[in-house]
Amino acid sequence: MHSLSPRHFADADAPYDAARYVLFGVPYDGTTSYRSGTRGGPAAIREASLNFESYLVDYDLDLADVPVCDAGDIEPFSLPDAVVAQVEDVVRDICRGGKVPVMIGGEHSITPGAVRAVAPEWYVVCDAHLDLRPEFGGTRDNHACACRRVYDAGVRNIVIIGARSGTREEYAFAQDLHLYTADEVRKRGMSTVVREVAGIVGNARTYLSIDADAVDCCATPGLGTPEPFGLSPSDLRDLVRALAPTVVGFDYVEVCPCDAGQTAAVAARIIRDFIGCHFRHGREESLL
């Protein structure tokens, strides 16, 4: 099912069976609407991970001591619905083993497959875009429909953070969800928003999806659909740290390595932070 990538995510050297975290890549950008290239995201994020110390001072933890397995990449099919099904199968296996899936994209269209496998109580997503279209480009599995597919999968407790782009219909749909726009985050401060979201989610099983374009494209320009006036990398890290303890599935998608490496660096660093924070403070997931 997996092919081993030439480079491993740094310090993710545990064998699959012994791992508590299974990281895998989905080099897929088949429904890209603007700039293609997110298929290069997993390789770029792994490459960027090699730059960082294995010691995480914030958790007094060496990632080399955390059982993380880099299972390599899925070899994606061409059609998006088939890729979503591939992802669902892989994540179901990971969850069955009581492990936490850490998926790196690839475009956002892959997330609903992972969410269906994890079956969380809450879906929290950071994204410049609402991704609530019923269909786009002739498919319901387009990256622009990711959040809508999660909703359709029955996960109705949804928090969207950092959004600043969508159609009138998408914004109307989002009224039934918990929406924190990028402007609202800036006005109220991320610490306030983080406290509020953590309060809403509580101790419930949460899937956390990070679309790299939630961050301002002036800070991290390696994106398929860049948007200015977004979150800062620190905002994003604050949120990931606050929610990590209750997260049972995590992904970081939409890194398009056409920049000088900033976007992949932020992604790799936040993924490492998520794993460290979750290992220190996270819930033990019971076997599904």
**By the criterion CB under 5 A, which residues form the site for Mn ion?**
108, 127-129, 131, 211, 213
Residue (11 or 131) nearer to Mn ion, CB: 131
Q: Which tokens sit at 87?
A: 């992802």
| CA quadruple 69, 73, 79, 81: dihedral, nearest 10 | 0
Looking at the DSSP bridge assignments, the partners of residue 178 are 159
**Cβ partners under 8 Å of residue 101, min gap 6:** 22, 24, 90, 91, 94, 95, 114, 117, 118, 249, 250, 251
Q: Which amino acid is at 250?
A: F
Residue (247 or 255) nearer to Mn ion, CB: 255
CA distance 175 to 193: 17
CB of 274 to Mn ion, least distance (A): 18
CA distance 227 to 214: 8
CA distance 286 to 288: 6
CB of 173 to Mn ion, least distance (A): 15
CA 43, 48, 49, 51 torsion-angle sign: positive
CB of 213 to Mn ion, least distance (A): 4
CB of 162 to Mn ion, least distance (A): 9
Residue (33 or 51) nearer to Mn ion, CB: 33
Residue (127 or 141) nearer to Mn ion, CB: 127
Residue (118 or 255) nearer to Mn ion, CB: 255
- Cβ-in-10-Å burial (0-12, 13-18, 19+) of 15 comes to exposed
CB of 147 to Mn ion, least distance (A): 7
CB of 138 to Mn ion, least distance (A): 18
Residue (112 or 282) nearer to Mn ion, CB: 112
